[in-house]
Amino acid sequence: MGDMGFSWPSVFVVVVVGLVLNAAVVCNGGITSAFVRRVEQSVDMPLDSDAFLVPPGYNAPQQVHITQGDRVGKAVIVSWVTVDEPGSDTVLYWSENSQIKNNATGIVVTYQFYNYTSGYIHHCTIKNLEFNTKYYYEVGIGNTTRTFWFTTPPEVGPDVPYTFGLIGDLGQTYDSNATLTHYELNPMEGKTLLFVGDLSYADHYQFQDNVRWDTWGRFIERSAAYQPWIWTAGNHELSLAPALGEDIPFKPYTHRFHVPYRTSNSTAPFWYSIKRASAYIIVLSSYSAYVKYTPQYQWLFEELPKVNRSETMRVMFESWFVQYKVDVVFAGHVHAYERSERISNIAYNIVNGLCAPVNDQSAPVYITIGDGGNIEGLANNLTEPQPKYSAFHEASFGHAIFDIKNRTHAYYSWHRNQDGYAAEADSLWFFNRYWYPFDDSTTNHSLSI
């Protein structure tokens, strides 16, 4: 209901970005966890691991995963890979209360990366689904078929309870497997996963062995075939290898993971937005240009007013995040966990010398959640003493849950892999910046200088 004529409901605004957004360093902060973990190297699971099992049967669909296919959650993009032959691009689908099978037809793509040739990668968008409905879907029509299911979200609205999971920098190590298992068994039951970039870490291998993209696709299928994973590109998706003749950025990522970027008027799959239940989710890419007048900058400039609540990327966009009262910014890349206070640097200028972040109740909470458990291991060099802007930090693997209760409250929790499935290592009640803009910090110290 704003001056631009948009009438979006006021919801929790979540920004997801594939790279940590740096904050300036000041001292005497919040909680440095006393948790002590075993120091172990992170090792990728072997190719013949159970986590990567190839489904049996001729041309059986594998690496099945889904994501939101439109602006509001009435469409789903179904993706899968066949290896023996292209096979059918058709998806059969039906709601749990119906015997009538509908069908939708998609596309198939392949790509080469140096000496690797991909399987047949299918993408099919199922449209015009009912909200809040369980659907079954079947792929592999004509050869070995496999059936999965998903539940569509409720209609977009500010008071719709909805639970998101958060995982970043996952990779495919034994720790990655523990993270995914903990997410699946968390009793808070995330219904949609916001993935904060850095997926397979295939680029860790010689020639960026894309077989490790296939194993990753099979690894995540047990979750991603049944609930949408909302994709963000990180630096490990760049996949640039000029020495191998590979100079097209994001080639494996863009062939394997389709996103509904056009529905938010984006011109590239690396930045886009969706609405889902009670959240307005803005996906940004630190690895695509974002300085003034680039397409991503221009898109965000036009995007943020639609929310209508009525050095780094953070520096670039921070004033917009504050102006439009973004509730939370999730970022990956640093392999640790950290939650900030609501802080901003927008008062900074050369004359006033205000160079440290200040407490700002209009600012987002910044959460670094690059702790999925990939082969690069943990970032143990957390800034000590803990900076004042930092409410909680710890170098452990884990995942988080963002559980929106209604227009004013969301319960957030972070879960480390070593704990029981229900344990919360860090938690916070978020108060919506538009509907209930009261102080929701968990540590009692003033950040003003």
- Positions in the binding site for Fe ion (CB under 5 A): 169, 198
First to last CA, the chain: 37
CB of 197 to Fe ion, least distance (A): 7
Task: Assess contact for 210 and 48: CB atoms under 8 A.
Answer: no
Q: How far apart are CA 243 and CA 246, in angstroms?
A: 7
Task: Assess contact for 376 and 201: CB atoms under 8 A.
Answer: yes
Q: Which amino acid is present at 401?
A: I
Of 258, 255, 237, nearest to 68 (Cα)? Answer: 258
- By beta-carbon proximity to Fe ion, the closer residue of 64 and 331 is 331
Q: How far apart are CA 162 and CA 14, in angstroms?
A: 13
CA dihedral sign, ordered 61, 190, 339, 173: negative
Quick one: DSSP state of residue 386? Answer: P
CA 245 from chain centre, in angstroms, equals: 30
- By beta-carbon proximity to Fe ion, the closer residue of 174 and 348 is 174
CB of 169 to Fe ion, least distance (A): 4
Peptide bond between residue 385 and the one before it cis (omega within 30 degrees of 0): yes
- By beta-carbon proximity to Fe ion, the closer residue of 11 and 367 is 367
- By beta-carbon proximity to Fe ion, the closer residue of 199 and 277 is 199
- By beta-carbon proximity to Fe ion, the closer residue of 225 and 395 is 395
CB of 372 to Fe ion, least distance (A): 8
Structure-token pair, residue 214: 């296939």
CB of 94 to Fe ion, least distance (A): 39
From the CB of residue 316, how many other CB atoms can be counted at a distance below 10 Å? 18
Q: How far apart are CA 194 and CA 66, in angstroms?
A: 12
User: What are the strands of the beta sheet with 146-151, ordered from one edge?
Assistant: 102-105, 90-95, 134-139, 146-151
CB of 364 to Fe ion, least distance (A): 21
CB of 162 to Fe ion, least distance (A): 27
- By beta-carbon proximity to Fe ion, the closer residue of 169 and 403 is 169
CB of 12 to Fe ion, least distance (A): 26
Is residue 213 classed as helix, strand or coil in its secondary structure? Answer: helix
Task: Assess contact for 373 and 397: CB atoms under 8 A.
Answer: yes
CB of 286 to Fe ion, least distance (A): 12
- By beta-carbon proximity to Fe ion, the closer residue of 102 and 235 is 235
Task: Assess contact for 391 and 186: CB atoms under 8 A.
Answer: no
- By beta-carbon proximity to Fe ion, the closer residue of 70 and 198 is 198
